[in-house]
Structure formats: C-alpha cells, structure tokens
Structure 1
Amino acid sequence: MPDEVAAGGSDDGRPGLLARWGTARRRERSARQAEFTAFVEDAAPRLRRTAYLMCRDWHLAQDFTQITLAKLYARWDRVRHAGNLDAYSRRVLMNAVFDHRKRAAAGELVLAEPPEPAYRRVEDGVELHVALLGALATLPVRDQAIVVLRHWEDQSVEAVAGILDVSVSVVKTRNARALGRLREVLGEDFVRT
C-alpha cells in the first residue's frame, strides 16, 4: 500500500511523491528549453553572420550555425551558466569552421600559379563588399577568424585569444600580418569610400 500512495497519491487526493517529482522535472525541462530558445533567438543571427564572413556562403553559414547550436544544446546543462556564453558559442562555431576546412582541404585543386587578383579601386558598396570578402578568402582560415572576430565582431585582442585558444601575442602578430596581406591583395589605391 505505501508504494501505491507514493506513486499514485494519497487517500485525501494529493499527488504522490513520484507524481510531484515528475511535475517538477517537466517544469525544470520547460524552463531549460525556454532559456535555450531565448539564447538561440539572441545569438543565432550573430553566429550566422560570423560564419558567413568565414565561408562566404549563406547556406554553409546556416549549417555551421546549426552545428554550433546543436552542440550547445547537447551540453546546455553544463554551459548555460558559463561566464561568457557568447565567447563559448563563437569558439564552438570557429571549431566547426576549422573542422570543415580540414575536411575540405583534401579535395582542393592545386594550381601552379595563383590566378591574378581582380581587386581594384571600387566605387559601389556591393563591389566593395565582394572585394573585401574575396580578399578575406585569400587568408589562411585562422587569420580569417582573427580578422573577422577582431574587426567585424569588434572583439578585444584578449577575447579573440580566448575564443581561439591562443596567446594574445599570437593574435596581435597574425592580425598584423593578415591586415598587411589584405593591403597587398586590395592594392595601395584601394580606398574605402
């Protein structure tokens, strides 16, 4: 009889221990779901934009965003109270991009000479956008990540170092080299209007 009382309820109509526990678990799960949904609504556009800057393909950027959100959801109980959830989500996103690049590198076509860059002085905003994304694509993937996080996402050097798990001096050095490379690719007469 005590098992029936614990599971089903008592004689006076109150729910039993098991029923109260199940209700509490459903409420807790619902609260976690709501918390994750709020995070996704806030972070997904930013993550997708960052992913786009890394791959220049909106569909692939959406895939990277979904991979990132799926990994965060799987670890949500552990990471939801992290000190900086935005930085953690950016790190997961960058790892997804890096992993994809490693797999894609095996299928790349190697040319004897690189094609001539078609970047000249541009007047139109769309042409500027295309020229900048094309120039960004000439950088190694880690340098792309540093430039995107540092200059597009406006993250501090320390934040970028934390996201990419490198030292501050590595971020500074690679950022300077990457910006120099972008200047070479875009040419001296390239002026942002």
Structure 2
Amino acid sequence: MDAASEAGFREFVESRSGVLFRTALLLSGGDRGAAEDLLQNALIKAAGRWHRIDEPEAYVRQVLYRQQISRWRLRWLSRERVVAEPPEPGGATAGGDPAHDAELRVVMARALRRLTTRQRTMLVLRYYEDLPEAEVAALLGCSVGTVRSTTRRSLDKLRAVSPELASLTLRPPRTPEPVREEQLSEVKP
C-alpha cells in the first residue's frame, strides 16, 4: 500500500470505525469481544484490497455481515455465552427522555440476546441498517421469502420473550407546533 492509500485508509478507519463497531456489536448480540474481532477482520480485508474498493463502508459492512453469517453457520458462537452489555451512546435521542431512551436500549439489548444469531442478524439488517428485503436476501444468500418469514418469526419471538417491550413505545422526536395566523398578528414589528 502506497503512502496516499495508507493515509486514505487511516482516515476512513478514524472517521467510520465507531459506526461500523456499533453494527458489529448488534450483529454479535452485544458481545464486545466478538464485535471487535468482526470489525478488525473486516478492516484487515479492506486494507488488503483498498486500492480496488470503490465504496469502502459498503464493502466493510458486507464483510461484517458475511463473517457473522459464517460464524452462525459454524455455530462458533453457540459455545460461548454472551455477557457483555452494549455501550450506551452519550445523550438521548432528539427531543426524547434520556431515562426512557436508556431503558429502551437496555430492554432491547436483552431481548435481542434471546434470539438466535440468524434472527438477530435479520432484524439488524432490516431495521437497524434499514436495508430492503431484496438486499438482505442478497447479503445472506437466501430468498426474499426467507427474509420475510424469518423477520416475521423473529419479531414474534422478540415479542414473546420480551413482553416488556410492549410497554416501552418508541417516541417520535418532538416537532414544533405550527404557528397559527392569530399568533402572527400578535407580533408587532
């Protein structure tokens, strides 16, 4: 790798590793060690092909997904028990209650750990990464129907194993109320 490529790779790692680590953490079910391994291996593969990669973040994400699928298929993770808690990012969501947001993250992390790796991966790709079903199917090497049925069963299981999620609703960010005409007339220049 020449100096310019190395500088570009370092800049990419510094700017995007936090976001990529959160994705790896979700894919690994909250296991920090496994998430670090996933991300490190993906970055090593990216470094080896850096000069040929057009979209580095998309490439690294695809490597993360495929590595997690390989681990799932080999049942490597079934021998370990996940005990690590995912880190809480600083601050609350826009306009939300910090205590509510923290409680929601804790409950969701526990609920996701109760799913199988395949179920968790489907939910992360569909809802956290917001990928369309066809793209998830292409990444996981299965049909769109499999993505739909697995996602539906995963959500059903998530609701069954964590009924406390029903009491914690996602709150949309606060939007300002529209200004009424009579309010405008009260303002004097």
TM-score range, shorter-chain basis? 0.5 to 0.7
Unaligned runs of 5+ in 2: 82-98, 170-189
2:64 corresponds to which of 70, 93, 97: 93
Higher RCO structure (Cα 8 Å, ≥6 apart): 2
Equivalents in 1 of 2:20, 2:165: separation in Å? 33
CA RMSD, Structure 1 to Structure 2 (Å): 2.6
What's 1:127 paired with? 103
What amino acid sits opposite 1:147 in the alignment? L
What's 1:118 paired with? none
What's 2:174 paired with? none
What amino acid sits opposite 1:105 in the alignment? S
Closer, same or farther: CA 151–189 of 1 in aligned 2, 3 Å: closer
1:141 corresponds to which of 117, 130, 134: 117
User: Residue 40 in 1 paired to residue 16 in 2?
Assistant: no
Contact 2:46 2:56 in 1 (8 A): no
What's 2:23 paired with? 50
Closer, same or farther: CA 191–149 of 1 in aligned 2, 3 Å: same
Matches within 5 A, 1:168-183: 168-183=144-159
Equivalents in 1 of 2:6, 2:111: separation in Å? 41
User: Residue 105 in 1 paired to residue 81 in 2?
Assistant: no
Equivalents in 2 of 1:107, 1:156: separation in Å? 31
What amino acid sits opposite 2:12 in the alignment? F
Equivalents in 2 of 1:126, 1:159: separation in Å? 31
Helix, strand or coil for the counterpart of 2:2?
Answer: helix
Contact 1:87 1:159 in 2 (8 A): no
Matches within 5 A, 1:69-88: 69-78=43-52, 80-81=53-54, 84-88=55-59
User: Residue 186 in 1 paired to residue 166 in 2?
Assistant: no
What's 2:175 paired with? none
Equivalents in 1 of 2:16, 2:140: separation in Å? 18
What's 1:13 paired with? none
Instruction: Give TM-score scaled by structure 1 length.
Output: 0.65
What CA deviation, in whole Å up to 9, does each residue of 1:128-156 have, x standing for no partner?
21221111112221221110111112222
Equivalents in 2 of 1:37, 1:100: separation in Å? 27
Pairwise CA distance, 1:35: 2.7
Contact 1:87 1:163 in 2 (8 A): no
Pairwise CA distance, 1:178: 0.7
Instruction: Give TM-score scaled by structure 2 length.
Output: 0.66
Q: Which has the larger radius of gyration?
A: 1
- Is 128-137 or 85-94 further displaced after alignment? 85-94
Contact 2:159 2:165 in 1 (8 A): no
- Is 44-53 or 154-163 further displaced after alignment? 154-163
Closer, same or farther: CA 62–188 of 1 in aligned 2, 3 Å: closer
